Amino acid sequence: MIKKRLGKSNLEVSCVGFGSYRISNKIEQHHHALEKALKKGINLIDTSSNYADGESEILIGNLISRLISTNEFRREDLIIVTKGGYIQGQNLQLVNQRVEIGSPYNEIVICSPDLKHSINPEFLEDQINLSLQRLKMDCIDVYLLHNPEYFLTYTKMNSLTDLRNEYYKRIETAFRFLEQKVDEGKIKWYGISSNTFGANADKLNFTSLERVLEIAENISPKNHFAVVQFPLNAIEKVNASTKNQFDNTKTFLRLANEANLGVLVNRPLNGIEHNQIIRLADYEIKENISKDETIDLASQIESIEKEILILADKIEDGEIRKNVIDCLSIGNIIKSNFDRFDGVTHFSEVRNQFLIPRANYSMQNLFETFREDKSALNKINNYAVHVNILLDSCESVLAKTANEENKKLHDKLNQYLDDSYHQLSLSQKSVLMINSLSEISCTLVGMRKEEYVNDIIEITDYKPQQKAYEYWGLD
């Protein structure tokens, strides 16, 4: 495992970190994935108070406390990065409760009815304490302000100058507060995670590292501002090459390096283009089937569902009967919406969050109703098998299309990779090209499954590629 220094913090971090955006304490495979990653040598975990509405931090706290109690790890072996700023879910309830009792938080940015934001010290005080409780820790290694540029996006002022001055004033206030938390021993280092560090300087919500560094230096030459985080991937390459510092003469990455800041990269495998997420990974094809064959299979399932509807009509509870009948429509849903799926990732979300729950609900109640009727149970089992085949077929058709598109990215990356690395997966190539930049301390990869861990671990000891700077458009 290649290790790098996290800027002036002098912490030694694995070149790949465990990104915890979508992990939850409620899902067992997420526990296994994180444990495997740690035991394979990954020592940096990145999370946030709003990830899975706090469940991400809870999982991390539970797992680490267990590994420490069994003497498999020491706390000092691991580097925990968490963030604060987002107000949604439980945090939104907390903010609303403060309003109800007449003691609202100050400087709340309203983004939508279900999303607010704040980096005000009073709010951050509660967020740090809650994070420490969930993580079961006394101290956070790195605490980041989470996308503070939301203030710029959702706040209206008479002039852009006034808007930006207020923005950096709020960052300064937050930094002074975080210095206090360092003195109290609740955090060791702090920084900012922003999606706009690499943006053009004239963009409304651009975050200037140059101005942020001035703020930190004015607070104290011995300040603890040590880490920045930003998105970088093969789709959004300009985040590395855009010159947006010192009158557009220097890139964000170069300035971060000169200031001895640790640099964390997020979204290495999720590029955003035309408001769509493009997954930079090769997909497994479970079924060798065409789109037309998949649509035919959906029609067959529609016919099977008509037979099952006759059974469902015998469910005694009226509300359950109505719900089961409504759920027995997967064949029609697939036929009617196949061309609307944006890709494998979109379909997987629909499958896991909508289609499978519907199928499970209908199966559970039908099995309960006909548990003594072997003929009915055979029909229900047959339906369940066909639904699984249909869902795998849909995913495979979309995966095949995505893999064909990925060939273009493979060919592009291969021009800058050593010949011996051409056989790597797209995700491996993507991460390797980021890690080849000496300015990058750690690349954060979402590894919710053990197979994701296995995929990325393979390239954590590979040598940096000589043509990486040319690929990223850097001098």
Of 74-83, 181-190, 284-293, 433-442, the one with minimum mean pLDDT is 284-293
Domain final residue pick, 346, 375, 406: 406
- Residue 442, judged by CB atoms within 10 A of its CB (0-12, 13-18, 19+), counts as buried
Asked whether the predicted pLDDT for residue 192 surpasses 90, the reply is: yes
Q: Three-state SS for 250?
A: strand
- Based on the fold, state whether residues 268 and 354 are members of the same structural domain: no
Structural domain includes residue 92: yes
- Based on the fold, state whether residues 275 and 295 are members of the same structural domain: no
Structural domain includes residue 445: no
Domain hosting 328: range is: 291-406
Structural domain includes residue 399: yes
pLDDT of residue 195: 97
pLDDT classification of 355: cutoffs 50, 70, 90: very high
Across 79-91, average pLDDT: 96
- Based on the fold, state whether residues 147 and 232 are members of the same structural domain: yes
pLDDT tens digits for 107-137? 999 999 999 999 999 999 999 999 999 999 9
Mean pLDDT of the chain: 95
Strands 86-87 and 115-117: antiparallel
- Based on the fold, state whether residues 81 and 39 are members of the same structural domain: yes
Q: Three-state SS for 46?
A: strand
Q: Which residues contact 201 (CB under 8 A, 6 or more apart)?
A: 208, 244, 245, 248
pTM for the structure as a whole: 0.87
- Based on the fold, state whether residues 74 and 140 are members of the same structural domain: yes
pLDDT classification of 222: cutoffs 50, 70, 90: very high
Asked whether the predicted pLDDT for residue 402 surpasses 90, the reply is: no
Structural domain includes residue 387: yes
User: Which one has a higher pLDDT value, 428 or 475?
Assistant: 428
- Based on the fold, state whether residues 321 and 228 are members of the same structural domain: no
- Based on the fold, state whether residues 122 and 143 are members of the same structural domain: yes
Strand partners, 86: 117
Structural domain includes residue 462: no
- Based on the fold, state whether residues 197 and 86 are members of the same structural domain: yes
pLDDT of residue 310: 92
pLDDT classification of 91: cutoffs 50, 70, 90: very high
Across 61-66, average pLDDT: 97
Q: What percent of the chain has pLDDT over 70?
A: 100
Asked whether the predicted pLDDT for residue 183 surpasses 90, the reply is: yes
Of 192-206, 213-227, 333-347, 460-474, the one with minimum mean pLDDT is 333-347
Structural domain includes residue 468: no
H or E segment to which residue 272 belongs = strand 270-273
Structure token digits, residue 299: 């029609």
Q: Three-state SS for 195?
A: coil
Across 275-286, average pLDDT: 85
Q: What percent of the chain has pLDDT over 90?
A: 91
Q: What CATH number does residue 264 fall under?
A: 3.20.20.100
Across 90-98, average pLDDT: 93
Across 283-303, average pLDDT: 91
Go through 149-164 and write b for each residue having 16 or more CB atoms within 10 A of its CB, e for each that does not.
Answer: bbbbeeeeeeeeeebb
Domain final residue pick, 379, 406, 433: 406
- Based on the fold, state whether residues 82 and 116 are members of the same structural domain: yes
Asked whether the predicted pLDDT for residue 175 surpasses 90, the reply is: yes
Domain final residue pick, 279, 314, 334: 279
Phi and psi angles of residue 4, each rounded to the nearest 5 degrees, phi first: -130, 165
- Based on the fold, state whether residues 13 and 130 are members of the same structural domain: yes
State whether the Cα torsion 294-297-299-305 is positive or negative: negative
pLDDT tens digits for 243-265? 999 999 999 999 999 999 999 99
Structural domain includes residue 212: yes
Nearest to residue 144, comparing CAs of 224, 75, 68? 224
pLDDT of residue 346: 85
pLDDT of residue 286: 82
- Based on the fold, state whether residues 346 and 215 are members of the same structural domain: no
pLDDT classification of 39: cutoffs 50, 70, 90: very high
| Total count of domains within the chain | 2
- Based on the fold, state whether residues 267 and 235 are members of the same structural domain: yes
Structural domain includes residue 428: no
